[in-house]
Structure 1
Amino acid sequence: MAVPLIGAQLLSVSNGLVDALVAGQLGRAELAAGGIAAGIWFFASLSCIGLMGGLSPTLSRLIGQRRRNIVGAVFRQGLWLAVITGGIATATALAVAALLPRMSLEAELVPLIRQYLLTAAWSLPAFAIVMACRNACEATALTRPVLIVQVLGLGINILADLAFGLGWFGFPQFGLMGIGIATSVVMITMAAALLFYLSGKRFARYNLLSAFEGPRWADIRPMLVLSIPIYLTLLFEAGLFVSVSLQMGMIGTIEAGAHYIAIGVTSFCFMLPLGLSFALTARMGRVYGRQSLAAAKLRIVSGLLITVMLAVFTIFTLIVFRYPLISLYTDDPELIAVAAQLLLLAALFQLSDGAQVALLGLLRGLQDVRVPMLINAFSYWAVAFPLGYFSAHRWGYGATGLWWGLIAGLSVSALLLALRLVSRINLYNRQGGFAAVP
């Protein structure tokens, strides 16, 4: 189950890698603007990821309780939530695009960022539907369609970026606007493909798309009880990373471009534990529905062991292959020098970053989302942000200072989430299992 999800995550971030490579071919300013614009798009898309995030543990628990007869009805309400969420996300991205001239960004970057956002924003409703369908695949443990559709999306993205971004195949060159158009085309195609898969025979026993119903608040509300804290958890973390991207734009074009490269590489590495985290949420949700504490403990031990192995692999990759990886983006010596420093720092937080996302996945499967949300808020905004800000702007460390803040925040988050999981398991032990614990 985890392997297709990890593969899908790697392919998903590959779309961003392709976008960055094409932006790098357009020029230094386009690379920097593309990085900031991609960060803003991701920030807007968090509502789609987070508010759909309650769907997987909800459906997994129903399946664990052998209540398959209502899985389809709950999923269809999730699709309504996706449509609403995607519309709000689009409005958010367009609003940020309108406010760009008021931000303290270098003047040459503002029109370039707007070009991307004004076209990529329209991909967000389709992206929300993709996330809803993906959550259904995770909950049912039928994850291969997610991987297949992601392969399709990557192929289309490569062709569309080359056509609209660089003007290949006889198309006009639209630059960053073309990359935004490609993003919208890819998301719409992926949403249609996943809906097609979910209507097929492999998913027939769950009746996911067997009827059409209007939105029902009674079914949407329980999902939101889980989804809103998940969304806020993601918002706290992503808000920190977006703030770092914007601060890089204030420091300089070189630093912003180098940060874009480093984030692109580390995001690719992060997809390994993130894909595992999605699988852990679904697996833990099922054993939680079955009220099997022994099985839950097994999921925790095996999940964290795999997380450590993945972290060792990514640390080795970032240290040994940092220059070849950077060269995929640019041959600018100034960009290479700064990006290499940032990748060495990235190697330092691979274990804590992987651990915190795996722990979040396990806790979500146990329907524990509120305290982890508060942990993230504290770790990122009471630890990471002030430390990074003062290191960069007051103590003279510049770009590396911002990344030291990230290291501190991720490490504190991993430690506190581990303590939270241990405390929950100890409580379950004392109370004699899941059923006795609210």
Structure 2
Amino acid sequence: MPKLSVIRPRLFAISWPIYAEQLLLAIVGLIFVTVTSRISDATAAAFGLSNQLFGFFLFLFRVVGIGASVVVTQYLGAGDRESAARIARASLAAASWLGLALAVLVASSADALLSLLKLPEELRPEAKPYLMILSLVLLIDSLNTTLASVLRAYTFTRDTLNQMLVVHALSLILGLPLIFGWLGLPRLGLIGIGIAFLLARLAGLILSLWLWRRHLGIRPRWRDWWWISPKPLVEMMRIGLPGAGENVAYRTAFTWNLSFIATMGTTALATHTYLLQISQFVALSAAAIGFGAEIVVGHLVGAGALHAANRLVRRALVWGFAAAILSASLAALEGPRLMRLFTSDPEIIRSGCTVLWLFIALETGRVFNMVVINSLRGTGDVRFPVVFGAFSMFGAEVGLAWLLGIQMGWGLLGAWIGMAADEWIRAIAMYLRWILHAWVPFARQTRRRLLCRSSTAA
């Protein structure tokens, strides 16, 4: 196995490639939303809602990705590379079966899922076939997500960035001609985007496997793709289930909120789609620093360096909070220009610009959640964020969206107020948990377990 530089990674070195990767993802999403909006606001709305549904199922893959990533970082921090490789291999079968199950579910229930989200009837002829193709993309992305999570855990974040560059470049190169029928190809609209996504993800899977072989010295065997190894699976699920549970609760509340917005009409749904694209750019710093903190904290906990982990999280919060204020303020000030990138409809522009000022509150709260929740996960403290998070998400985000947006008639603004309130309620709770050191017993328990397993394996 090749020599790996995995001890005591630095936050900036880990985070900036993740930031670039997330930026790339946001840019590609922005391009496709802009392109579909040129067809019509209705097409853009169908694209946005289908992608949000796709994103919900994609978050379920985090049950494997989170578990594999955190456990691998902890073993690497403890210096046990054989156990890290064992977890990496075991993650493949879990990802394969989960991806297959979700692909079948989405393909067989596309109509029911769109009805659940209350998608307007006039948008379904475009949304349904696109969603059917995305069900196949889910299967490939289940594997890609897990492969990339393990590479990041080994600190090869630059390589995952390069892999994503290839995937997104192919998505654009293939997608744009298929949307508009360029180069003699059929004009397929949303279906063309789905085909491009599928082919690009297949190329990404091949590249990820090559990176595993090159950097990790791991060449998956046929058995690794389908045989579930009980002990590694339990280790991953101990972290992955609660960790993914928090993400699933978030996406469920978000999707429920989205169903409220869908009842407000195509205009509100299109506005929401455009705002989400802007939000992706504003949230980049928080996401990158949060994922970076999870990786570094996992290594530090594995090494028993709890004081260093505490200092790192506090430093990450300062950086993230400053970046969130700056980016959210710029988005609010440039609101009219940003909204005109997507549409010339004055009602959509006016509504969108009003909501953009809420980004300052929403994104500053999001920083605490991204950094602290991910760091808690790196220590092994995974249950509290799920339990409290679910209470806040459904109570504040969904509850206020229903009360303000539907019952009081505030519309889209009410839905986004609910989202901002949820972020800050959770932010305060998570920050208090960190500064009160409630995570320390979990970190010590994690360290003892790693040492015990390593000595047993030896």
Distance 1:133-1:301 versus aligned 2 partners, 3 A rule: same
Q: Distance in 1 between matches of 2:113 and 2:74?
A: 43
How do residues 183-198 of structure 1 correspond to structure 2 at under 5 angstroms? 183-198=197-212
Q: Distance in 1 between matches of 2:302 and 2:255?
A: 36
Deviation at 1:358, TM superposition (A): 0.9
How do residues 366-405 of structure 1 correspond to structure 2 at under 5 angstroms? 366-405=379-418
- What one-letter code is carried by the residue in structure 2 that aligns with 1:183? F
Q: How many aligned residue pairs are there?
A: 434
Q: Distance in 2 between matches of 1:76 and 1:377?
A: 32
Q: Distance in 2 between matches of 1:52 and 1:100?
A: 25
Which residue does 1:67 correspond to in 2? 80
Which residue does 1:114 correspond to in 2? 128
Which residue does 2:187 correspond to in 1? 173
Do residues 315 (structure 1) and 328 (structure 2) align?
Answer: yes
Contact 1:75 1:208 in 2 (8 A): no
Per the alignment, in what secondary structure is the counterpart of residue 37 of structure 2? helix
- What one-letter code is carried by the residue in structure 2 that aligns with 1:146? T
Distance 1:126-1:105 versus aligned 2 partners, 3 A rule: closer
Distance 1:208-1:138 versus aligned 2 partners, 3 A rule: farther
Q: Distance in 2 between matches of 1:22 and 1:227?
A: 36
Which residue does 1:356 correspond to in 2? 369
Deviation at 1:432, TM superposition (A): 8.8
Do residues 139 (structure 1) and 134 (structure 2) align?
Answer: no
Deviations 1:219-275 (A, max 9, x none): 112101111111110111111222222222110111000000001110222232112
Give the TM-score taking structure 1 as reference length.
0.93
Which residue does 1:2 correspond to in 2? 15
Contact 2:36 2:43 in 1 (8 A): yes
Which residue does 1:290 correspond to in 2? 303
Deviation at 1:119, TM superposition (A): 1.0
Q: Distance in 2 between matches of 1:432 and 1:156?
A: 45
Q: Distance in 2 between matches of 1:427 and 1:54?
A: 19
- What one-letter code is carried by the residue in structure 1 that aligns with 2:282? C
Deviations 1:11-61 (A, max 9, x none): 123332222122112212111111111111111111113331111110000
Q: Aligned match of 2:196 in 153, 172, 182?
A: 182
Q: Work out the percentage of aligned pairs sharing the same amino acid.
A: 21
Q: Distance in 1 between matches of 2:106 and 2:427?
A: 30
Deviations 1:256-298 (A, max 9, x none): 0000000111022223211221111110011111111221122
- What one-letter code is carried by the residue in structure 2 that aligns with 1:138? R
Q: Distance in 1 between matches of 2:334 and 2:358?
A: 14
Contact 1:48 1:82 in 2 (8 A): yes
Do residues 155 (structure 1) and 169 (structure 2) align?
Answer: yes
Stretch deviating more after TM superposition (333-342 or 371-380): 333-342
Which residue does 2:103 correspond to in 1? 90
Contact 1:164 1:178 in 2 (8 A): yes
- What one-letter code is carried by the residue in structure 1 that aligns with 2:192? G
Per the alignment, in what secondary structure is the counterpart of residue 251 of structure 2? helix
Per the alignment, in what secondary structure is the counterpart of residue 356 of structure 2? helix
Give the TM-score taking structure 2 as reference length.
0.89
Deviation at 1:77, TM superposition (A): 0.7
Deviation at 1:433, TM superposition (A): 9.4
Which residue does 1:229 correspond to in 2? 242
Contact 2:401 2:415 in 1 (8 A): yes
Which residue does 1:265 correspond to in 2? 278
Contact 2:174 2:196 in 1 (8 A): yes
Deviation at 1:165, TM superposition (A): 1.6
Which residue does 1:253 correspond to in 2? 266
Contact 1:326 1:339 in 2 (8 A): yes
Deviation at 1:94, TM superposition (A): 2.3
Do residues 35 (structure 1) and 45 (structure 2) align?
Answer: no
* Unaligned ranges ≥5, structure 1: none
Q: Distance in 1 between matches of 2:74 and 2:219?
A: 16
- What one-letter code is carried by the residue in structure 1 that aligns with 2:152? E
Distance 1:424-1:47 versus aligned 2 partners, 3 A rule: same
Contact 2:130 2:191 in 1 (8 A): yes
Do residues 124 (structure 1) and 167 (structure 2) align?
Answer: no
Q: Distance in 1 between matches of 2:235 and 2:393?
A: 28
Q: Distance in 2 between matches of 1:81 and 1:291?
A: 29
Deviations 1:374-394 (A, max 9, x none): 121011002221111110111
Do residues 49 (structure 1) and 54 (structure 2) align?
Answer: no
Per the alignment, in what secondary structure is the counterpart of residue 344 of structure 2? coil
Which residue does 2:345 correspond to in 1? 332
Contact 1:36 1:246 in 2 (8 A): no
Contact 1:291 1:433 in 2 (8 A): no
Q: Distance in 2 between matches of 1:289 and 1:211?
A: 31
Which residue does 2:429 correspond to in 1? 416
- What one-letter code is carried by the residue in structure 1 that aligns with 2:170? I
Contact 2:129 2:191 in 1 (8 A): yes
Stretch deviating more after TM superposition (11-20 or 305-314): 11-20
Per the alignment, in what secondary structure is the counterpart of residue 121 of structure 2? coil
Q: Distance in 2 between matches of 1:246 and 1:256?
A: 9
Q: Distance in 1 between matches of 2:75 and 2:440?
A: 23
> RMSD value over aligned CA atoms?
2.2
Contact 1:287 1:295 in 2 (8 A): yes
Stretch deviating more after TM superposition (226-235 or 7-16): 7-16
Q: Distance in 1 between matches of 2:244 and 2:92?
A: 17
Contact 2:209 2:219 in 1 (8 A): no
Distance 1:60-1:101 versus aligned 2 partners, 3 A rule: closer
Q: Aligned match of 1:25 in 38, 43, 53?
A: 38
Which residue does 2:231 correspond to in 1? 218
Q: Distance in 1 between matches of 2:67 and 2:79?
A: 19
